[in-house]
Structure 1
């Protein structure tokens, strides 16, 4: 009797499970169809039902539910958004828990933090900790420009309220700024070969065109955030604040390599090089632990004293020692500037190219090369037409500068337009021996070629 009862119970349970699975399939199909049609009002209750009864039915449940709740939030009155926000957070957290391999933790946690920030859910400390969780759990996928700015913005506000000190602000600035530079470099590196292909007149696939568009959007957004960070830091990073901050601790900290490195980097970045404190910090650091930073600082000192050759020795030493690509690019850029000022354009270009290789988003290096090409137009062509053709090459580099670095896009595009105006026009090409698509090679230090455009 007992055996028969268990058999009947098993059949009943299996039957119930089958019905439940069928119900989920039917409900999910209706919900997904409505969501695909962007009928989120109809999709929402069914999606919630699927998440509750069959949480692991499909990742699509959470993808559509996110869109449905975001739609409801957009339409809700300000006072009615709180519960919807909490609901959306729950959806994100559940997705991360059930589908960790298909969900980026850094993005989820930074999105949660941003949602709380935008809707003022929590005090500044709580909001900061929400962003900090994203940073600590998965910094690789903490990439939202808006979230990165908010993460820094909160520390500044907390310092203003007396809950953080100035060094906390500097430390936060350094790590967020470094993250932004990394994302810019990644975007510019992905963009470079596609721009080269485009400049060479090769046909791009729709996928490649989309990649270019996305990379340029990302570069523009990160550039805006970088400028906003500097604006928010504002007067806090002026020499008038930095020098007293580090001077009061120098005697105690002059044997602390880490402290000296931080002080040296901050004073160097803001060109606070004329105060005796900078000399003390630089020499103490170089004595304890010769490094790229200390060598660079001694180069700055030599340059400020008018000893250009000694400065270049230190700068080259700094570049060789530097392991951070972004910082290495800055050193190469400074070396290039020294050679450019001396009129040694070939050497200058070598170092500007090294700077770009280290930091692909450094558009100012391209712009400097464009400027040197333009200045050499009269000396690097063989006749009037080829001399003016040098400006096409200059324009190409100026345009590239604008595309990889939106922060200088306005000036770079103006320069490109100016160079194009100085280059041969359509009537000049028609009257010349050169045809559109034909390459012109330049002598002297340039040693490069440009294709005659089809105007």
Structure 2
């Protein structure tokens, strides 16, 4: 009877304090005092000792006693409990046991949400949490540990949590979310609403990853000074080493971006014919809804469906309402289809001036640079490449395009012409330094340019040595020689 009364009193206390500020309190304060509270402290001690030894089955019973009787004792009850139950679910081969463990795991998240304000009031900065964070973790554990997972249920959980967390969503959560959205789409390929959900989920996931990865590249902890005289071209340029914090971001979000791209490519969701069928009627119905039109333009452009009729229709409607970057780009695309390059460039320039996102400004600037290169306007092309790099210093393509301009500009005798190719190689090295994904293209281009270096056999008799500084095209480079 005494124990029943104690449990009831603890439950009442939990309800009353869940909305109170418990800052400055100790575990003893939050459990209470007396004989029964000693039992809870004993349970805490026993489970923590077993937890340290990774004896999770042994730890489960005392942990559950503390969890049920003293839900506000400490935040660790929730995090330790979730970890233990995840391990037990994976280890067990008994389906009934798996379900039992899973039900307890879900209860942890529900109870933590109920007591969130009270728990946060005494938590440290490291253990303080948010509703969105807990919902995301619950969704992740439901998706991966539920014995009979329902993709629609998991999807709804993920969306609720991610909508709350936004760009702060953790990498592992995004990984689970995009996989869940993908599987939900595979089960409902004929459902256009679910197809649109998956497309939007992919774009949002990719945007979060791209933004964080771009930010990470800005933080360099160290660098390895390049050696221009080395025979190994990979050592010519200074190599940037990311800080541990930046590397942690890359390790968390790069695999997510790779996974999202892999799933999206394999899904076939962005088939242009399918997208045109989906959006044709909807664009007409939303021709005065600028937000919707811009969303359609972004989706069609992202999946290289920007030469479809519906893309141009949406662009015209959007441009009539308001001159936005998306609408201007669409107008440019339409003109390019008709080979009106100069007209297209004007709309690209308008998009750059209207756009506030640096990454998109860089993308549009690079597009103009590429068009100018095709026209042979090399000086203007380089100017737009430099503008691209102002907006996005990690754009390796802008360096490679400048390298092409420099090589294409080579004039003079063989020695003077070789200076241009040395400078072009410098730009190739810069490309792969700031953008490792461009390394293959950069190395291939550098090899082609190196074939035009001045020969050592002729340099020897002229007293010319590799490694000396030379000026060309208004810049300084290091002379390199070929065998």
* TM over 0.5, shorter chain: yes
Q: Is the 8 A contact 1:336 1:347 kept in 2?
A: yes
Q: Distance in 2 between matches of 1:379 and 1:178?
A: 51
Q: CA deviation at 1:262?
A: 4.0
1:85 equivalent in alignment to 2:102 = yes
Q: Deviations over 1:392-411 (max 9, x none)?
A: 524433433553x5xx66x3
* Aligned residue among 312, 323, 330 for 1:290: 323
Range with bigger deviation, 290-299 or 174-183:
174-183
1:320 equivalent in alignment to 2:353 = yes
Within-5 A mapping of 1:274-285:
276-285=309-318
- Match of residue 8 from structure 1: none
Q: Deviations over 1:236-275 (max 9, x none)?
A: 4333233344444565554443454344444444555555
* Aligned residue among 143, 165, 169 for 1:138: 165
Q: Is the 8 A contact 2:315 2:331 kept in 1?
A: yes
Q: Deviations over 1:128-149 (max 9, x none)?
A: 2111221233224433332231
- Match of residue 50 from structure 1: 66
Gaps of 5+ in 1: 1-13
1:301 equivalent in alignment to 2:334 = yes
* Aligned residue among 231, 246, 255 for 1:221: 255
- Match of residue 276 from structure 2: 243
Q: Deviations over 1:421-441 (max 9, x none)?
A: 8799xx99xx98677xx9x57
Q: Deviations over 1:206-265 (max 9, x none)?
A: xx653353233235313313313432551x433323334444456555444345434444
Gaps of 5+ in 2: 1-28, 227-236, 458-462
* Aligned residue among 445, 468, 472 for 1:443: 472
Q: CA deviation at 1:316?
A: 0.5
Q: Distance in 2 between matches of 1:372 and 1:37?
A: 63
- Structure 1 residues 371 and 222 mapped into 2: Cα distance closer, same or farther (>3 Å)? farther
1:126 equivalent in alignment to 2:143 = no
- Structure 1 residues 344 and 44 mapped into 2: Cα distance closer, same or farther (>3 Å)? farther
Q: Deviations over 1:334-383 (max 9, x none)?
A: 11221333444554455445445545665544554565567678889976
Q: Distance in 2 between matches of 1:301 and 1:135?
A: 36
Query: What's the secondary structure of 2:334's corresponding residue?
Result: helix
Within-5 A mapping of 1:98-137:
98=116, 99-100=119-120, 102-118=128-144, 119=146, 121-137=148-164
- Structure 1 residues 263 and 189 mapped into 2: Cα distance closer, same or farther (>3 Å)? closer
- Match of residue 331 from structure 1: 364
Range with bigger deviation, 354-363 or 133-142:
354-363
- Match of residue 76 from structure 1: 92
Q: CA deviation at 1:177?
A: 1.2
Q: Deviations over 1:152-187 (max 9, x none)?
A: 32552464264xx25x53354235413422332222
Q: Distance in 2 between matches of 1:153 and 1:312?
A: 37
Q: Deviations over 1:100-135 (max 9, x none)?
A: 471243343223222222335443332221112212
Q: Distance in 2 between matches of 1:423 and 1:224?
A: 37
Q: Distance in 2 between matches of 1:153 and 1:419?
A: 42
Q: Is the 8 A contact 2:178 2:205 kept in 1?
A: no
- Match of residue 187 from structure 1: 213
C-alpha RMSD over aligned residues: 4.5
Q: Is the 8 A contact 1:333 1:351 kept in 2?
A: yes
Q: Distance in 1 between matches of 2:464 and 2:369?
A: 36
Q: Deviations over 1:62-86 (max 9, x none)?
A: 3333332222222111623222222
Q: Is the 8 A contact 1:264 1:294 kept in 2?
A: yes
Within-5 A mapping of 1:1-80:
17-19=33-35, 23-25=39-41, 27-77=43-93, 79=95, 80=97
Query: What's the secondary structure of 2:219's corresponding residue?
Result: helix
Q: Distance in 1 between matches of 2:103 and 2:479?
A: 58
1:150 equivalent in alignment to 2:184 = no
- Match of residue 460 from structure 2: none
- Which is helix-richer, 1 or 2? 1
Q: Deviations over 1:19-44 (max 9, x none)?
A: 55555555544543443444444444
Q: CA deviation at 1:286?
A: 1.8
Q: CA deviation at 1:291?
A: 1.7
Q: Distance in 2 between matches of 1:50 and 1:420?
A: 70
Q: Is the 8 A contact 1:398 1:412 kept in 2?
A: no
Q: Distance in 1 between matches of 2:37 and 2:238?
A: 52
Query: What's the secondary structure of 1:103's corresponding residue?
Result: coil
- Structure 1 residues 293 and 62 mapped into 2: Cα distance closer, same or farther (>3 Å)? same
Q: Is the 8 A contact 2:421 2:450 kept in 1?
A: no
- Match of residue 203 from structure 2: 177
